[in-house]
Amino acid sequence: MCGIIGYIGDKTASDILISGLSHLEYRGYDSSGVALMNNEEVNVFKASGKLINLIEILKTKQNICAKSKIGIGHIRWATHGLPTTQNAHPHTCNCKNLTLVHNGIIENYQELKKELEKQGAVFASQTDTEVAAHLIAYEYGKTKNLLNAMQNAAKKIKGAFAFCAIHKEEPDRIVVAKRNAPLIIGVGQGENFIASDIPAIIEYTKKAIYLSDYQIGVITKDSIEIYDEKNTLIPNKIEYLPFEAVAISKMGYKHFMLKEIHEQSDVVRNVLAGKLLSADKKVVLDEFKLTKKEIKNIKRIQIIACGTSYHAGLIGKYVLEKFAKIPVDVEASSEYIYRDTIADKNTLAIGISQSGETADTITAIKQIKQDNSHVVIITNRADSTMARLADSLLPVSAGIEVSVAATKSYMAQLISLYLLAIYLYEQKEVEQYKKEIATLKQELLELPSKIEAIVENTSNIQRIAKKYSSYKDFIFIARGINYPNALEGALKLKEISYINATGYSAGELKHGPIAMLDNNMPVLAILNTGSVYDKVLSNCEEAKARQAKLIGVTNYIEEKDASLFDDIITIPLGSETIGPAINIVVLQLLAYYIAEYLGKDVDQPRNLAKSVTVE
């Protein structure tokens, strides 16, 4: 989604802006732009498409670049208006003195636009951001002060924004504002930075101030002033950024997605570290803040998440209900927020999010917090908005995930949910399943080596990927605890290869989807040993009887049944419960190799964004 970078100091601003934007590219975007300021002028350069188009333009403007030590930059993910150069940020006003980049959505932009048009504003784009630029410029006309102009404008704007503005009449400063969209100020020596996300500036500084909602900042090369909602200057709270620059490198892999799939064994080790020491020891989960008594009072669990994180939540339901013996509802955040929901202090709310910045999930969390439910956040970003809303924060620390397609963060979420289920089971002192819990713990400890066995031998997966890459449609089926992986496997395939893939619960096939089966429809079945093995096998027979091409992802198959399948991917043995954490690796690799074979932009698929910060 959109990304912001700003720089003020003694270095060539364009170099830092381009480097920062290149580290935000992973978020997904369709145009880019920068505004470069020196004592005499502000120059704006914009391009549609990839960042390289903007870089090519800047190569022809070396004089301007060399003398500009202040600048703001942006990558845009279109919301209002097509992804054209005209709609790309930065945006300016009639006199071109004020220049603005923006993340978020201005809800009352139509109303504001009408008012500004009456004052003579002429608009060059379809964006809501240009309206904000004109509004701040209009307020500047009254106040002759960029800080005051921003303060006045912010009060008139409804919606979400992270603003970063410069003005020709104040060539020593950048003014920023935030409401419901992330923004940080990177603290340097004789230079300062602004960014919507850490990767943009981590190369330059490890110190930052996280702006809170309704705050406005004035940044010069030697100072940072933060004002609260009442326009009072407040003390700066400097924090240390959690990432290393090296985490944002491909480390020799062709794509970040492949690197991140390979990292999953270490991710599992990291999530388990200090929490699960051995199969005969209790899970330690100090981050979970409810007492034993409060845990025993939990009547219901409500999981809220989107996309891949939602699929992790669906698997969480199986283990939490089974072991913790608490009913669990899982709902997509975008649905949760438009319902009259029921929750109370005996409801445990679990928000799951890789980025911790997904707008719908943040709104849902705020909604359930109002019902006095205890909120657990499972996230990969301990520095995120959601993390700050948590009553209990379970950071999964999978390391920064660059590829838009979530892989290692999904694995980390699954492991966290397994740990939480075991922890609740142990705190509630449930007696049933003692043996299964011990087995699950042992399997969690052994999981890294099973993942390694899969990623180190991908020749069969690559062969199958090539064989099926020309199909236009795909169906994924599974049952029980693996059903959510049918959804996740299909999501992975469609988002990076653009093949129309759908996941079904295998038992549902005959209630409609079976009508689509013929020899042009590959069906991938997850066939794990356990309670539904025979059922899934019968569903595969039904599919084969309609001449579907059948791919089995299985940890066990008898020779007599193997002939049913056109292709088989064998995975390491494991119990039914641990199954999803093993077979998902195959589904991720299959999607990856199909997309790679088709030559798709694996890490930055079209139309998608890494963190969806708008509703």
Residues that bind ligand M6R (CB under 6 A): 306-309, 353-355, 358, 361, 404-406, 491, 495, 611-612
Contacts of 339 (CB under 8 A, 6+ apart): none
User: d(Cα 117, Cα 130) in Å, to the nearest integer?
Assistant: 12
Could you tell me the smallest distance in angstroms from the CB atom of residue 496 to ligand M6R? 8
Strand-pair category, 300-305 with 347-353: parallel
The per-residue b/e assignment along 233-250, b for 16 or more CB within 10 angstroms, e otherwise, is eeeeeeeebbeeeeebee
Q: Where are the alpha helices (DSSP H) in 430-565?
A: 434-455, 459-468, 483-497, 533-545, 559-562
Whether 295 contacts 477, CB under 8 Å: no
User: Per the residue annotation, which of 2, 65, 93, 306 is the catalytic one?
Assistant: 2
Taking the least distance from each CB to ligand M6R, the nearer of 116 and 406 is: 406
What the block records as the tokens of 373 is: 């439910």
Give the 3-state secondary structure percentages of the chain, helix then strand then coil, rounded to 5. Answer: 40, 20, 40
Taking the least distance from each CB to ligand M6R, the nearer of 27 and 450 is: 27
Residue among 183, 186, 150, 171 at smallest CA distance from 70: 171
Taking the least distance from each CB to ligand M6R, the nearer of 314 and 612 is: 612
Classify residue 252 by burial, with Cβ atoms within 10 Å: 0-12, 13-18, 19+. Answer: exposed
Could you tell me the smallest distance in angstroms from the CB atom of residue 611 to ligand M6R? 5
Sheet holding 3-8, edge to edge: 42-48, 31-37, 70-76, 3-8, 192-195, 184-187, 207-210, 238-240
Contacts of 441 (CB under 8 A, 6+ apart): 276, 278, 279, 283, 422
Whether 135 contacts 116, CB under 8 Å: yes
User: d(Cα 183, Cα 181) in Å, to the nearest integer?
Assistant: 7
Residue length, the chain? 615
Taking the least distance from each CB to ligand M6R, the nearer of 306 and 475 is: 306
Could you tell me the smallest distance in angstroms from the CB atom of residue 383 to ligand M6R? 13
Q: Residue 106 pairs with which residues in a beta bridge?
A: 159
Taking the least distance from each CB to ligand M6R, the nearer of 137 and 490 is: 490
Taking the least distance from each CB to ligand M6R, the nearer of 361 and 505 is: 361
What the block records as the tokens of 602 is: 């694996």
User: d(Cα 2, Cα 4) in Å, to the nearest integer?
Assistant: 7
- Distance in Å from the first CA to the final CA of the chain: 12
Long-range contacts: 117-126, Cβ < 8 Å, 24+? Answer: 120/94, 121/93, 121/94, 122/94, 124/86, 125/81, 125/86, 125/87, 125/91, 126/80, 126/81, 126/82, 126/87
- C-alpha distances (whole Å) from 20 to each of 47, 355, 535, 608 are 16, 18, 52, 20
| CA–centroid distance for 10 within its chain | 34
Q: Could you identify the residue written with the tokens 């399943």? A: 433
Could you tell me the smallest distance in angstroms from the CB atom of residue 401 to ligand M6R? 9
Phi/psi at 359 (nearest 5 deg)? Answer: -55, -45
Residue among 485, 385, 318, 335 at smallest CA distance from 103: 385
User: d(Cα 200, Cα 383) in Å, to the nearest integer?
Assistant: 15
Residue 2 a catalytic site member: yes
Q: Which residue number has the CB closest to ligand M6R?
A: 307
Taking the least distance from each CB to ligand M6R, the nearer of 132 and 404 is: 404
Could you tell me the smallest distance in angstroms from the CB atom of residue 192 to ligand M6R? 28
Residue 610 a catalytic site member: yes
Taking the least distance from each CB to ligand M6R, the nearer of 30 and 139 is: 30
Contacts of 294 (CB under 8 A, 6+ apart): 374
Could you tell me the smallest distance in angstroms from the CB atom of residue 211 to ligand M6R? 20
Taking the least distance from each CB to ligand M6R, the nearer of 170 and 495 is: 495
Could you tell me the smallest distance in angstroms from the CB atom of residue 355 to ligand M6R? 3
Q: Could you identify the residue written with the tokens 């007492």? A: 291
What the block records as the tokens of 569 is: 């991917």
Taking the least distance from each CB to ligand M6R, the nearer of 129 and 611 is: 611
User: Per the residue annotation, which of 69, 178, 408, 610 is the catalytic one?
Assistant: 610
Taking the least distance from each CB to ligand M6R, the nearer of 301 and 614 is: 614
Could you tell me the smallest distance in angstroms from the CB atom of residue 486 to ligand M6R? 15
Taking the least distance from each CB to ligand M6R, the nearer of 401 and 443 is: 401
Instruction: Give the catalytic positions in this structure.
Output: 2, 610
